[in-house]
Amino acid sequence: MQSNGMLTKMGTIVALSIGLVTLCKYFPIKTKNTNSIVLGICSKCHPYGMLDSDGSIIGFDVDLAKIVAEEMGVKLVIKDMPFKSLIKELKSGHVDMIMSGLSITRKRYRDIDFIPYDGDILDHLALVFCGSLPPGISPVLDLKTCLNKKVCVCSDTYLEKLASELDFIKIKRFSNTAEMLVDVKNGKSIAAILDPRNTMQLQLSQPDMKILNVPLSADQQTFGIGIGINKRQMSLALRLSQIISVLNCDGTISKLKAKWLHGCKC
C-alpha cells in the first residue's frame, strides 16, 4: 500500500504540472543564475554520467539535461561531484538540479523532490555470477553458506548502501561494472550486485554470466529514476515536469534509452 501511495503522489506531481504549468507565469523560475541552470552529476555513474577520452562528461543524463536546458532557453552548467555529495549540494543551493541515474527512494523523497523520467518500482536486485550458480544459492541469505563471501558493488551508489546492510558478506567496491565482472570471472569475488535495469545487454553480450534476482524489502525498494529538485523550487519543478512529460510523449526519452541504456556499463 505504501508503494502505491508514493507512486500516486509522484504521478500527481507530473499530472498537475501539465494542467498548472501556467503558474510559472506568476511564480518565476528561480535558479542560481536566470540565464543558466546548474546540474550536479557524478561522472562515475555509467551510463548516466561518465567521462569520455577527452575528459568531458557524457551519458544519458547529460543528453537529457542538455535537451531540458534547451527547452527552458537557458545555458546548462555541469558540475561533476561525488555521488554522495549530490543531495547535500542541492539542498545547500549550489546546484539547481541533480541527476546520476538517481533512484527515487522513500528516504531521499523526504529530503528533496523528484521529477521521474524512467523506470518502475524496483523490488529486486541482480546478483551476477560467472558460469553456473553456486550449489544451494537461491535467495541472498544463502550466501551465508558460501566460503567465499566477497561480493562486488559500484561505490557511492544506492546499491552500495544496500550491500552494506548485509553484514554477512564482505563488500568489494569498484568504480564501474566492467572491473567488477573481471573480478568475478577471475574468482576473486563470488558475485557482483547490479541494478536489474542494467542487465539486458549483459545477458546478450556475456551469456556466461548468470543472473539471480534478489528480493528487496519494502524499505529498500526504489520507485524509478528522477531529476532531484530542491523542495523550495516549486516553479522549477512544474516546468521540468512539463518538459519531461512532453519528452516522454514525443519519444525523445525512448531514443535516449535506445542510445545509452542498451549498452550500459554500470
Closest CA to 95 of 111, 108, 110, 76: 76
The model's confidence at residue 31, banded by pLDDT at 50, 70 and 90, is low
Residues 6+ apart with CB under 8 A from 122: 103, 195, 196, 197, 216, 221, 222, 223, 224
In the chain, the domains with their CATH numbers are 2-121+222-263 (3.40.190.10), 124-215 (3.40.190.10)
In angstroms and rounded to an integer, the radius of gyration of the C-alpha atoms of the chain is 19
For 164-188, the pLDDT digits (tens) are: 777 777 889 998 888 998 999 998 9
Question: What's the predicted TM-score (pTM) here?
Answer: 0.67
Chain segment 95-110, per-residue pLDDT in tens:
999 999 898 988 899 9
**pLDDT averaged over every residue in the chain:** 81
